[in-house]
Structure 1
Amino acid sequence: MTRTEAPATDDESSVVGKLSTLDRFLAVWILATMALGLAMGRAVPGLDDALAEVEVGGISLPIAVGLLVMMYPVLAKVRYDRLDAVTGDRKLMVSSLVINWLIGPAVMFALAWIFLADLPEYRTGLIIVGLARCIAMVVIWNDLARGDRDAAAVLVALNSVFQVLAFGLLGWLYLDLLPGWLGLGDGEHLDISMPEIALNVVIFLGVPLLAGFLTRRLGEKKLGRESYEATFLPMIGPWALYGLLFTIVTLFALQGRTITSQPLDVARIALPLLVYFALMWFGAFALGKAIGLPYDRTATLAFTAAGNNFELAIAVAIATFGVTSGQALSGVVGPLIEVPVLVALVHVSLARGRTFTPAQQLTAEPKES
């Protein structure tokens, strides 16, 4: 695949200057929707119960709808006929698998025991968050950071396969086997089957991926690639962020009362999460640059390493330990910290992108907002 080189600049033609108003003030919109969701969950009696009841197979339908709306426009932008250029990048593929499935869970396990040794419920919930690798929101953070959209599609699909195959095994390893081996006490057992994990993956990745693929194929067939990318994609682009904001409002309304009634516990859980996101993102970004990946794929590697599948983590915690458990609270605090932190890291990524050489400032095509 031929790429066009675009040297980094500091003026208004830089990637930051090209962000739309919606993108540029995303942090403001996200903080506002988080506050709105928390306020709604606190002020409206029974709202959390009502939202929790609207589910199928343990999956919240409002959250599912928000995530599907969020992911569809991004996945409709992927050039599926060029994915072989991503799968042939061994540095990217191997690095992503190692970081996500060997390093990530181990880092979260260590941080959970370091920071929450005296709080077993929260510790277990945090480890579950670390086991659930991101397959949903990462496409938004990657797109905002001008990462490689095609690479993100491949990596989240790869994560989804490993999630189905490895989640139960890793849960047994980190929650049952290792604590016993290390003399840390009795282990825990996760009450979730491979089909349940597969259902989560199908809903949160399979449906929007299929919709995006079919839209791209049919849209290009009817309009042609140039017209499809110049007219149709900009029209559906903003819906990704609308879906993100709706998901955040729903999620925090669902758990608003729990979060606001236990602020000290939330702070205890938040600290290891902050350390985790920093270690994973900066470590993966440094690795990508060190092994010679261009900026866009380095950003993709970093965001897929730092993100987590909070939908699966919350579903597992609730199914195994109950909706009011400390494990479920840890799952809920995950996106409470992840969302603003990764929004901040989008800006860090764009700034650090200017430290790459001109030859590494690669853009496959204009990125639609």
Structure 2
Amino acid sequence: MRVPPAGPVAARLSFVDRFLAVWILLAMGVGLGLGRLVPGLGDALAKVTVTGVSLPIALGLLVMMYPVLAKVRYDRLDAVTRDRRLLVPSLVLNWALGPALMFTLAWLLLPDLPEYRTGLIIVGLARCIAMVIIWNDLACGDREAAAVLVALNSVFQVIAFSALGWFYLTVLPSWLGLERTGLDISVWEIARSVLIFLGIPLAAGFLTRRLGERARGRAWYESELIPRIGPFALYGLLFTIVVLFALQGGAITSRPTDVARIALPLLVYFAVMWAGSMALGKAVGLDYPRSTTLAFTAAGNNFELAIAVAIATFGASSGQALAGVVGPLIEVPVLIGLVHVALAARRYFPRPTAMTAEHAPAQEGSARV
């Protein structure tokens, strides 16, 4: 599942892969249309939930993440964990700058809409552990680095989410003389979300590679098995998008002005976080794949957790929940656009040495730079 630049590589892609951005936009449109035109569809999809997330969305996320995590070469993760130029900036971007930036944008651009403002601050606190893996893979980022950073975000999410929510919604507004809001979410609820949406596909991907390589060897695994299971990441992504937007299609299409107000700080947030992280990666000497991974893991957000927290705390029909839903409405097209920007920016990074190329994960249908 690739979105490489136009040229000989793109010509070798399948029809589905070549127009991935089109299919994503169509999936969003289909979901919004179904949610608007089919009475009761959103309620039906929301009846059964997993950690506050609709069961169909949960299944779509698991199917989406499994093939990408099955591609990770787990025996090379130690090379990532030793790279402080990657790990330290990632922690700072995700857990210091990201939440602070969203807090600032929410108060600057939504001073008169407290429910939406609170919802956006919750989105900023929920660092991405799921869909970012897809964006990173599409942009030819470093899969092993993405696996490590996502795991690191997961640990910090369990430890820090509640404390940061209390700080940004209660303590900091009090210091600044602003309106305060409470956030009631337990550490166990966050840990359960992480275990389901990351733990299950991670374990499945690891076991698939371990058992597959043991039975038939790495060459067979990467040339035969991976191409067979790889397309399911795309199918899971498109299914998730359709269900996600069908779930809130009525609310989104009936309140376009509110959606536009919520979208503005999100657009600024994604652009600033992604561009700043990409520039930082290049400045500290990271190559293109790891700079790309740094950028997408810093810019993406865990909308599953944000929506679940907003619904659990404020209710499914609240403005906070709507702000959480608008998050992926803006994030999906923006980050798929940034995939193309990233691929175009490869020319500004040094070409890899033979050693780098040897250790870069293979990408089906696309060549590493």
TM-score range, shorter chain: over 0.9
> Size of the alignment, in residue pairs?
359
Aligned pair partner of 1:54 in 48, 56, 76: 48
Query: Which has the higher mean CA deviation after the structures are superposed, 17-26 or 74-83?
Result: 17-26
Describe the superposition over 1:114-134 as per-residue Cα deviations: whole angstroms up to 9, x where unpaired. 100110000000000000000
**TM-score (normalizing by structure 1):** 0.95
Aligned pair partner of 1:70 in 57, 64, 74: 64
1:54 Cα offset (Å)? 1.5
One-letter code aligned to 2:106: A
One-letter code aligned to 2:271: A
1:17 Cα offset (Å)? 5.5
Tell me, yes or no, if structure 1 residue 237 matches structure 2 residue 230. Answer: yes
Q: In the alignment, which residue of structure 2 is the partner of 1:3?
A: none
Q: In the alignment, which residue of structure 2 is the partner of 1:12?
A: 7
Aligned pair partner of 2:35 in 38, 41, 47: 41
1:27 Cα offset (Å)? 1.1
Q: In the alignment, which residue of structure 2 is the partner of 1:265?
A: 258
Describe the superposition over 1:276-333 as per-residue Cα deviations: whole angstroms up to 9, x where unpaired. 0000000000000111100000000000010000000000001111111110010000
One-letter code aligned to 2:7: E
> What is the correspondence of 1:247-326 to structure 2 with a 5 Å cutoff?
247-326=240-319
Note if contact 1:42-1:257 (Cα within 8 Å) is conserved in structure 2.
Answer: yes
One-letter code aligned to 1:358: R
1:19 Cα offset (Å)? 4.9
> What is the correspondence of 1:144-293 to structure 2 with a 5 Å cutoff?
144-185=138-179, 187-293=180-286
Describe the superposition over 1:6-62 as per-residue Cα deviations: whole angstroms up to 9, x where unpaired. xxx988355x55654333211100110101001101111111001111213423210
1:115 and 1:19 map into 2 onto residues whose CA distance is: 42
- Shift in alpha-carbon separation, 1:323–1:360, aligned structure 2, 3 A: farther
Residue segments in structure 2 that go unaligned for 5+ positions in a row:
none
Q: In the alignment, which residue of structure 2 is the partner of 1:135?
A: 129
Q: In the alignment, which residue of structure 1 is the partner of 2:363?
A: 367
Note if contact 2:53-2:307 (Cα within 8 Å) is conserved in structure 1.
Answer: no
Note the aligned Cα RMSD (angstroms). Answer: 1.5
- Shift in alpha-carbon separation, 1:258–1:110, aligned structure 2, 3 A: same
Residue segments in structure 1 that go unaligned for 5+ positions in a row:
1-8
One-letter code aligned to 2:43: D
Note if contact 2:129-2:150 (Cα within 8 Å) is conserved in structure 1.
Answer: yes
One-letter code aligned to 2:364: E
**TM-score (normalizing by structure 2):** 0.95
Q: In the alignment, which residue of structure 2 is the partner of 1:91?
A: 85
One-letter code aligned to 1:177: V
Describe the superposition over 1:100-124 as per-residue Cα deviations: whole angstroms up to 9, x where unpaired. 0000000000000010011000000
1:175 Cα offset (Å)? 0.4
Q: Secondary structure at the residue paired with 2:248? A: helix
Q: Secondary structure at the residue paired with 1:358? A: coil
Note if contact 2:63-2:232 (Cα within 8 Å) is conserved in structure 1.
Answer: yes
- Shift in alpha-carbon separation, 1:180–1:360, aligned structure 2, 3 A: farther
Query: Which has the higher mean CA deviation after the structures are superposed, 23-32 or 55-64?
Result: 55-64
One-letter code aligned to 1:24: R
Describe the superposition over 1:220-260 as per-residue Cα deviations: whole angstroms up to 9, x where unpaired. 01110011000000111111010000000000000000101
The percent identity for this pair of structures is: 72
